[in-house]
Structure formats: C-alpha cells, structure tokens
Chain A
Amino acid sequence: MAEVRVAVPPTARKGEVIEIKTLVSHPMDNGFLLDYGGRMIPRWIINRFEVEYNGEMVFSADWHVSISTNPYLIFYTVATETGQLDFKWYDDNGEIYTHTAEITVT
C-alpha cells in the first residue's frame, strides 16, 4: 500500500499561483527486471495521476516506466477559491491512492 505525501499551502491570496509538491511511496517496478531465477518481476507502476480542485480537473498526468521509484512531482495551480484539492493516483494493479488537502483563499 502506497503512502502519499502532499504539500499544499494552507492559505493563499485569490489569483495566486501556488506550488504543489507530491511524493508517493511506490516501487514503480518497471517490468524489465529478472530475478536470479530468470523470472520477470512484473511491471507495477502508478500510471495515472489526477488533481481536482473543488471537483474540476485542473491537472493530470500519465506516467510510464521511466519515472523513478517514489514518484515526485511539483506542479502549479491558481488559488481560485476556498475549498479542497483531491489527489488520485492509479496503479497497474487497479489500486487507487487518494489524498485531500484543504486550502483557504483570501
């Protein structure tokens, strides 16, 4: 089970561009590795990331096998209104990891 870490500024001025940092603990097995016995370690990566700001999709990503273990991402969004940001990560095994952050916009 992956753990997630998200940094969203708790407060922002309306219209301000805020930086959002995310980190997920995930092996991101790339599916090219064989073990001693020649057996393939199956691919297991987070392949999709989505961010909704009060229900509206503001940013999303498709990830492939060249993203590092524990995927790290910095992106930006405009602080439009007080509310919540919903983060979702989807992995190859159908698991969905979620996180919600509150932001107060003044």
Chain B
Amino acid sequence: MNRSLWIFVAAFGGFAAYAFLAAGIAHAQAPDLSRFSVEDRKSGYVFLGEQVRALQDDDFQNPGMFAVDRGQRIWNTVDGEAGKSCATCHGDAAESMAGVSARYPQFDADRGAIINLELRINEQRMTHMMAPPLEYESEDLLALTTYIAGLSRGMPLEVNIEGDAAPFFEKGKDFFFERRGQLDLACNQCHDDLDGMMLRGDKMSQGQINGFPFYRLIWNSVGSTHRMFEWCNTSMRAEPFAYGSEEYLNLELYVAWRGRGLLVETPAVRR
C-alpha cells in the first residue's frame, strides 16, 4: 500500500519533470532534421530519440569513432609483400577518399559484377599491396571501411545504376520486394510501408544505409551493411546469405540508390 503510493508520487513527479522539459525543449531548440531527409527519404537518424542522437552528434561519445581512429592507423600501416600501405598510393585519405564511399557500391568491370567498399579495399590490398585480404566483418576491415566512409560525411549518396550496373540493380530491387523466411516478409513491407510506426519499442526506420558502417548499440560494435542484411534476414527467420555475396551486393546497390541524396553519416549510431 505504502509502496504503491510512492510509485504514484514518483511517476507523477517524473511526468511533471517531463512536461517541464518538453516545454523547455520546444521553446529552446526544436531539432532541425531537414538535413537528414531528402524528399520522402529519411535517414535512420530521424527515427531515433534524443538519447541515441546525442551519441552520434558528439564525436567524443560516438563509439564508432574508435573504429575511425583504428582505420586511420591501418591506412598508414605497411602490410604485404609489396611493402606498401594504403597511404603509399592514395596519400592523405582526407583528400583522396573524400566522397568515394558515396559512390559505392558500383559496377566493377574486372569482376563483371557489383563491388562494394569492403571488397574494393580487399581487392586493392591483394593486387597492389600483395597483402592477404582482411576477413569480411573483421575489426580491421570494418575499421578501414568506417574510416574511409567517414571521410564522405556530409556528402550525398550518389550511386550509378545505369549501364552495366542496371541488371544487378534490378536483381537487388527484386530481392527487396521478394517475400522470404518463415515470417514471409519482404523488405518493403516494413521499410517502405510502415516506416515511422512502432515495432515493439522501436520506431521502424526506412532501412537507409547512409550511415554505414554504423555503431549498433545492441551489437556493442560497428557493423557493415551486409551484417545488417544478415541480421534482418535472420530476424524474419529467413536463411541469410554470406557476407560479400552477390545477393547482398545487388541489394546494397538498390538500397543505396533508394537513399540517393541522403548525406553520409558514417559512423552513425543506431539502436
């Protein structure tokens, strides 16, 4: 009896504090989200609350910045038989890599297929540095990808889906609209049709990838687009595809195009 009284008082106090805060914030600073959306395309940032936004906004707090720091070290570290580092050929990444990730994934003539940033890094390591490829989703490859993608922060996503890329784009699009798994869901059923609605305690996002690789709180780590695809597929109880598989590369191209014009936020922080 006594206890429920206290709970009531506390809850009421909390509500009063909330009302006061909400009023204060509304007057002081309604967050300006205009740079997080283009037409009807919205970055995942829009669907976050202020506690997680605060993590992304502050480079000091953003745990993804540890990956950026590590990536920068790897960029300058010599590896492989050729005795080169990334910097040997590309110099200062801040100049040479600015805007690069916004154009990935893209069609690669040598592969005759789509290539993304992770695979491009590994391809360059093997051909020019004579170094072994980094394992997909390993800490080092994630760090390097995050570092490079982070140098395009603030630049709009702009992938090429014309020409040779077109058939792969169509395959990726088909994947997005294809139902799969025991829950018999397609990507679009949540991310096109239900964005902004609640799914348990979370707000459904549009599934945009402009902040990737991103730091995900439930993973306690940075993750790539393909890990997110895998996670999503597993959540809908579908058999996931491998990291770096053609299916996911095509999907990545479609999803990047779907978010065209959104500004790169890497390393984004999401729930």
A residues adjacent to B (C-beta < 8 A): 3, 5, 7, 21, 23, 25, 27-28, 69-70, 72
Number of A-B contacts (CB under 8 A): 22
What is the bound-complex CA distance between A95 and B63, given in angstroms? 21
Q: A3-B66, A3-B69 are in contact. Are A69 and B220 (CB under 8 A)?
A: yes
With both chains docked as a complex, state the minimum distance between the C-beta of A6 and any C-beta of chain B, in angstroms: 9
Q: Are B60 and A25 in contact (CB under 8 A)?
A: no
A-B CB contact pairs (8 Å), 22 listed: A3-B66, A3-B69, A3-B70, A5-B60, A5-B65, A5-B66, A7-B60, A21-B60, A23-B60, A23-B61, A23-B63, A25-B63, A25-B66, A27-B220, A28-B220, A69-B63, A69-B217, A69-B220, A70-B63, A70-B66, A70-B220, A72-B61
What is the bound-complex CA distance between A56 and B220, given in angstroms? 34
Interface size class of B (residues with CB under 8 A): under 10
What is the bound-complex CA distance between A86 and B220, given in angstroms? 27
B residues adjacent to A (C-beta < 8 A): 60-61, 63, 65-66, 69-70, 217, 220
With both chains docked as a complex, state the minimum distance between the C-beta of B240 and any C-beta of chain A, in angstroms: 15
Residues of A within 8 Å of B69, CB to CB, are: 3
Residues of B within 8 Å of A3, CB to CB, are: 66, 69-70
Chain B CB count within 10 A is highest, among A3, A28, A70, for A70
